[in-house]
Amino acid sequence: MRSFKGIGLLIITNILIMFTLIITGTVLINFVLPQFGIDLRGSLATQDFAWSLVFGFGGAFISLFMSKWLAKRGMKMQQVTTPSTPKEKLVFETVQQLAEREGIKMPEVWVYWDDTPNAFATGPTRNNAMVAVSSGLAMSMNDNELKAVLAHEMGHVSNGDMLATTLLQGLMNTFVYFVARMLARPIMERNYWMGFAVYMVLQFVLSILAMIPICWFSRRREFRADAYAADVLGAEHMIRALQKLETLTQQNAVQHQGEHHEEDALATMKIYGGFSGLFATHPPIETRIAALRNNQD
């Protein structure tokens, strides 16, 4: 049920984003920019590029600014403002201390109910972020391991990873829209529906290719967040947290083997990702551990 709710929320959100971008792009290109001497209404190629920029970066930034809202509504969450249990106190105070260390505004702290050990950080800016921890993670890790995971997530906040990812996503989206439109336009001029079909196929294929640099960057930022946690708490704590995470993930996989589970609509925010290859958002845990040990030498 939760998965269907998350998927439905994302579909509705994307439809609203699309209409917002159409209205915004129309006003911007046809009325606002010409007032400043920037006329993008000329050639078809210029118009295509302008619309690609609007949809590419506009969609990415709207999604970024809605990221906290989507996360809260996609999962059953509770914000921690006055910790009432030792684990809540540990989570809250660790995030608070790291925020003070970086001189940034205290992120919102949330817990959500899920047996799978996960945590994530999201938000539009370093001073407008949230850190969320699953009940499974909080209950299955000791204090030092949990602190290391929280430090990893605060590393994402401190490094500005959400904004950097959005900029890259916007660039790749622009590339996808523009190239697909340019290649499909000659066909559209002869047969609109045939050209539209080609455009959709090109957009799908190019979107897959665009995920390669995005996933590469995602893997790089995981190493940086690990390094941040190691710098704050010591590499050994982060290494033990990753080892515990790998053990818990394997146990969870064995426990649910043979059962059908729909992928959570917000699964890209989970901290684990044992898949390797071009489309992996997270490096293998053993590779992350090796990187931490190499940095100790």
The residues assigned a catalytic role are 153
Contacts for 78-82 with beta carbons within 8 Å, 24 or more apart?
A: 78/110, 78/111, 78/112, 79/108, 79/109, 79/110, 80/109, 80/110, 80/111, 81/109
Strands (DSSP E) along 115-166, which ranges?
A: 119-125, 128-134
Find out whether 50 and 29 touch, Cβ atoms under 8 Å.
yes
Size (the chain), residues: 297
State both tokens at 54: 């609007």
Max Cα–Cα distance, the chain, nearest Å: 68
Residue labelled with tokens 């559209």: 188
State both tokens at 1: 């049920």
Paired strand residues for 125: 128
Find out whether 165 and 210 touch, Cβ atoms under 8 Å.
no
β-strands 128-134, 77-79 pairing: unpaired
- Could you give the 3-state DSSP secondary structure of residue 43? coil
Measured CA to CA in angstroms, residue 70 lies from 155, 195, 265 at distances of 21, 34, 10
Amino acid in position 190: R
Distance CA 206, CA 175 (A): 8
